[in-house]
Structure 1
Amino acid sequence: MLHRELAELLDEELRRRGTSVIPPGEVFGKWKGLKDEEKDHEIAWPPMVIVMNTRLEQDENDKWIGMGNQELLDYFNGYAAVKSRHSYGPQGHRGMSVLIFESSARGYLEAERLHKHFAEQGTDRNAWDRRRVLFHPGGKRQLYGYIAVKEDLDIFNQHSQGRSKLKYEMRSYHEMVVRQINQMSEDNQQLIWLKSRVDKEQRKTKTLEESLEIVSDKLRKTTEENRIVRQRTQMHHEQSQEELDFQEQFFKDQLKVIHEARDAKEENFEHLQQKEREKAKQLGANPSNCEEYRRRVEEMEKFIQFQDKEMKDYVAERDGLIKHEEKFAAMKRRHWEEEFELEKEFDAELTSLMEKYTHPQSAKGSTNI
């Protein structure tokens, strides 16, 4: 009990002095960073920068005149303001102007950049409120500037009515700036990814185009080679056909000689038979007596009968030789049938050869692409 009470007293004393006892097991020296969530705040929208000390001099009516709209834009043309306005009151130009930026995160960043520029050269809100110097040596007016808040714009509109009032609204900084910047970052990452993808697609397309060009060139060469092969084959076929025609004509000429010689032999044979018959008839002419005449007539009849019988035998045997012509015709039919089959076989082999060297090559070309 005494130890517990002593520990509680020591802990209370240390808390009063701004320290604490480190619980057992805790690590000494941990850091404390930012709060879990940054607090949001309202900003004027569209983004605007107040520019002070913009009036110049009084006119003959004792009214103040100052910088014009375009003149103010020209002074700060490096900050992408879209338009400018000036505040006027009963005494004329109040020396209070505003640069208005586009209603976007980019516009807010441009306004903030101009605000920081004024701060860096010591002409920001604090300088205007505490130690303003209106003129430089030589008489030039010093401009001051800072990002606009609601109070500034209410002062700006103090003497404005209706449509002449500067229109604005208060919006969430997180919603109008942080969220848009995050979205821009995401869009930028998406754009980078898309550009990378486009580059890859372009490289792929270029590779495909190069491959296609190579394949097309190979196809052109193959087509030309095929044309040359076809031309050579056609020439070879024509030469072979010419040789066959020559051989066929040679054999036809030889057969013609044989046929002509055969016809001449048959005509000579018939002529000899006619001469023999004439000789037999002549033997029967001018007989010396009747007995002799009768004998010669009988011999002539016997010769004629014998000759007729021989001629009948000759004609019969001659008809038998016609089978030789039938064999010749059958041989020619076999020749033409064999030639037809050879042509069909050659055509089939040629088709198979073209398929062998056409379809596989196309498949290989597709795989390479």
Structure 2
Amino acid sequence: MASGRGNSRPQIDNKSLDNHQVPSNPVIRPPLEHGWNWQSRTGSNPSKGFQDGYEKDNVNAEAEKDNDVDDIEDDSDDVAADDSDNELLTDEFDSDSSQKSHETRKKNRWFKKFFDSLDKLRVEEINDPARQWHCPACQGGPGAIDWYRGLQPLVTHAKTKGSKRVKLHRELAELLDEELRRRGTSVIPAGEAFGKWRGLKDDEKDHEIVWPPMVIIMNTRLQQDDNDKWIGMGNQELLDYFSSYAAVKARHSYGPQGHRGMSLLVFESTARGYLEAERLHKHFAEQGTDREAWEHRQVLFYPGGTRQLYGYMANKEDLDIFNQHSQGKSKLKFEMRSYQEMVVNQIRQMSEANRELIFYKNKFAIQQRLKTALEESFGVVSEKLRKTMEENRIVRQRTKMQHEQNKEEMDFQEQFFKEQIKFIHEARDEEEEKFEKLQQQQREKFVKQSTPNTSNTEEYRRRADEIAKFIKLQDEEMEAFVSERDKLITVHKEKMAAMRQRHWQEEVELEKEFDTELSRLME
């Protein structure tokens, strides 16, 4: 299949066609005018009344008849094979086609049956993307059996054909565009969904409204006074009658004869004011006392003399009538504004603001709940802290008392042990003093005993030597005693120092253990 043929069906190879409808004659005969009988093939759409712009009910009957391609003047098969534009420049196809009418160009022998069938179709059927078409400009040529699903591929083919029958294809494209334009449609672009719905126009409908919003109230005059002037409903009375609609003020129209029976309620210059005015307008309409009733079937009085009020939204003409006899400052001021700008946009802004308000309200509520939860948690924690601090104060007080008591006991024990040690020291000193006295007495006793009474020098000398030896021995013993005593004192001091070190270490450990237990208790 040649490229660039849109959604045309793939051509079936010659081998498969030999087993179906193509005769075994090797001579190339003109293709079927209506293409292959796709109605009997898989993938055809039997529900369609037309296919390719021709009636499919006549395809089988006309297939053999049309093998001669409408009895073209030249009966030779070479005519079908000649695709040059020179062949087409005949009396039936004038190259200056712009001088011919559209209907005349449609009757060209190449296009006549195609457009005859096209004229029988509705616009919906023409635009059906599932409908298949043959190109009438390709009949009798290589592309005659190609299918194009939808008109868009066919028009694209006609506009882009660049090798054979170019002018004929361009003519077909122009005719199709003009025909579809006259039928009020166009070729659906490729890729665009068929059968889209048509809703409102793209542009939002807008109109001018009276601003500030006002509602005309008719039949508000009551009676004539002594001067034959009409009097009617007062401003506050009118506001009270419609107090549920949030009007901001009331005005009445006066003329040469007094009250004209025409009043109005003015609402605030916001979208809310307009909605209130519109709500009042609809209320009048629902009970049949609106503008249309006032203008065509007004009933001024009911039995008993009760006046019926009528009401409707004010427009510019109404306010011009209202101001007919008003001059200067008494003239009602108003302006005409865009409905989209003053109402729709404001409502959208209000809606957006309301959404934001709801969002922030929810956020504030969440924050309030969080704040409440935090306050409750803070209260619980504060109470626990207060109790803990009180317990700690009690513990510290008790600890201080215990410490003072322990200190007192330790001071007492220290005093007791110091007195014991002092007593030991005094006893030791007394023993040492006794020992020294004993040694002194022994020396004196020995000296006294050893002192010679004779005048013998030898004896005296011997006794003197013995005394000297005794004293020397006693001195040596005392020196040994003192030395050993000093050693004992040194060892004793070292043991006392070691004992005090162990005591302080144990005291430090006890303090640390106490701190640990106290910290655990405070937790």
**TM-score, normalisation: structure 2:** 0.56
Task: Identify which of 22, 26, 30 aligns with 2:125.
Answer: 22
In structure 2, how many angstroms separate the alpha carbons of the residues matched to 1:153 and 1:228?
Answer: 88
Compare relative contact order (CA 8 Å, sep 6+) and give the higher one, 1 or 2.
1
Q: Which moved more, 1:138-147 or 1:98-107?
A: 138-147
Letter of the 1:118 partner, please give it: F
- Cα separation, partners in 2 of 1:9 and 1:324, compared to 1, 3 Å: closer
Letter of the 2:202 partner, please give it: D
Task: Identify which of 488, 492, 497 aligns with 1:333.
Answer: 497
2:454–2:460 contact (8 Å) kept in structure 1: no
Residue 309 (1) aligns with residue 472 (2): yes
2:267–2:277 contact (8 Å) kept in structure 1: yes
In structure 2, how many angstroms separate the alpha carbons of the residues matched to 1:137 and 1:165?
Answer: 36
In structure 1, how many angstroms separate the alpha carbons of the residues matched to 2:477 and 2:322?
Answer: 148
Residue 3 (1) aligns with residue 113 (2): yes
How large is the RMSD of aligned CA atoms in angstroms? 4.2
Partner of 2:430: 264
SS at match of 2:125: coil
> Deviations along 1:334-367, whole A, 9 cap, x unmatched?
3333444555666778889999999xx9xxxxxx
Partner of 1:367: none
In structure 2, how many angstroms separate the alpha carbons of the residues matched to 1:177 and 1:283?
Answer: 149
Partner of 1:138: 304
Residue 291 (1) aligns with residue 457 (2): no
1:54–1:97 contact (8 Å) kept in structure 2: yes
Q: Which moved more, 1:325-334 or 1:241-250?
A: 241-250
Task: Identify which of 123, 144, 169 aligns with 2:289.
Answer: 123
SS at match of 1:167: coil
1:85–1:97 contact (8 Å) kept in structure 2: yes
Letter of the 2:435 partner, please give it: F
The alpha carbon displacement at 1:191 in A equals: 1.6
Within 5 A, what are the aligned runs for 1:227-242? none
The alpha carbon displacement at 1:93 in A equals: 1.0
2:211–2:336 contact (8 Å) kept in structure 1: yes
Within 5 A, what are the aligned runs for 1:343-358? none
In structure 2, how many angstroms separate the alpha carbons of the residues matched to 1:308 and 1:151?
Answer: 158
Q: Which moved more, 1:226-235 or 1:168-177?
A: 226-235
Task: Identify which of 84, 98, 102 aligns with 2:268.
Answer: 102
2:300–2:307 contact (8 Å) kept in structure 1: yes
The alpha carbon displacement at 1:43 in A equals: 0.2
Q: Which moved more, 1:322-331 or 1:186-195?
A: 322-331
2:220–2:262 contact (8 Å) kept in structure 1: yes
In structure 1, how many angstroms separate the alpha carbons of the residues matched to 2:116 and 2:401?
Answer: 122
Partner of 1:75: 241
- Cα separation, partners in 2 of 1:315 and 1:284, compared to 1, 3 Å: closer
- Cα separation, partners in 2 of 1:132 and 1:227, compared to 1, 3 Å: same
How many residue pairs get aligned? The number is: 349
In structure 2, how many angstroms separate the alpha carbons of the residues matched to 1:30 and 1:58?
Answer: 65
Letter of the 1:319 partner, please give it: V
The alpha carbon displacement at 1:129 in A equals: 0.8
Q: Which moved more, 1:258-267 or 1:240-249?
A: 240-249
Residue 49 (1) aligns with residue 215 (2): yes
SS at match of 1:22: helix
> Deviations along 1:239-264, whole A, 9 cap, x unmatched?
87777667655654554443333333
Residue 319 (1) aligns with residue 485 (2): no
**Which structure dedicates a bigger proportion of its chain to helix?**
1
In structure 2, how many angstroms separate the alpha carbons of the residues matched to 1:283 and 1:38?
Answer: 154
1:50–1:147 contact (8 Å) kept in structure 2: yes
SS at match of 1:291: coil
Partner of 1:366: none
1:58–1:64 contact (8 Å) kept in structure 2: yes
| Identical counterparts, % of pairs | 57
1:283–1:296 contact (8 Å) kept in structure 2: no
In structure 2, how many angstroms separate the alpha carbons of the residues matched to 1:351 and 1:266?
Answer: 48
- Cα separation, partners in 2 of 1:58 and 1:276, compared to 1, 3 Å: same
Task: Identify which of 226, 232, 239 aligns with 1:66.
Answer: 232
- Cα separation, partners in 2 of 1:303 and 1:5, compared to 1, 3 Å: closer
- Cα separation, partners in 2 of 1:67 and 1:26, compared to 1, 3 Å: farther
2:443–2:471 contact (8 Å) kept in structure 1: no
The alpha carbon displacement at 1:312 in A equals: 2.5
Gaps of 5+ in 1: 15-19, 362-369
Letter of the 1:317 partner, please give it: A
Q: Which moved more, 1:235-244 or 1:104-113?
A: 235-244
Residue 157 (1) aligns with residue 323 (2): yes
2:447–2:467 contact (8 Å) kept in structure 1: no
2:271–2:347 contact (8 Å) kept in structure 1: yes
Q: Which moved more, 1:149-158 or 1:128-137?
A: 128-137
Residue 111 (1) aligns with residue 292 (2): no
Gaps of 5+ in 2: 1-110, 131-193
